[in-house]
């Protein structure tokens, strides 16, 4: 699964500002993770890719469950 898909998924989950006011702090933390991932991909953060065994086919199987 690509990092841009992960970032897009996190943005979809957290929703718009003021959409879920009780979860504002969790939303800010998730958006902070997106920010750090995006900047790491641009080379502004140190990031190490670690093999986790997931690929597009296994991710598709997870979505089907």
Helix, strand, coil proportions of the chain in percent (round to 5)? 65, 0, 35
pLDDT band at residue 62 under the 50/70/90 scheme: low
Count of domains for the chain: 1
pLDDT of residue 19: 84
Question: What is the distance of C-alpha 53 from the center of its chain?
Answer: 17
pLDDT digits (tens, 9 = 90+) for 27-39: 889 888 888 888 8
Q: What is the pTM of this model?
A: 0.55
Q: Quote the domain boundaries for residue 33.
A: 3-64
């Amino acid at each position: 699964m690509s990092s841009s898909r992960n970032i897009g998924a996190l943005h979809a989950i957290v929703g718009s500002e003021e959409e879920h006011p009780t979860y504002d702090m969790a939303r800010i933390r998730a958006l902070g993770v997106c920010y750090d991932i995006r900047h790491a991909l641009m080379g502004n953060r140190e990031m190490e890719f670690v093999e986790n065994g997931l690929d597009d086919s296994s991710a598709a199987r997870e979505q089907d469950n």
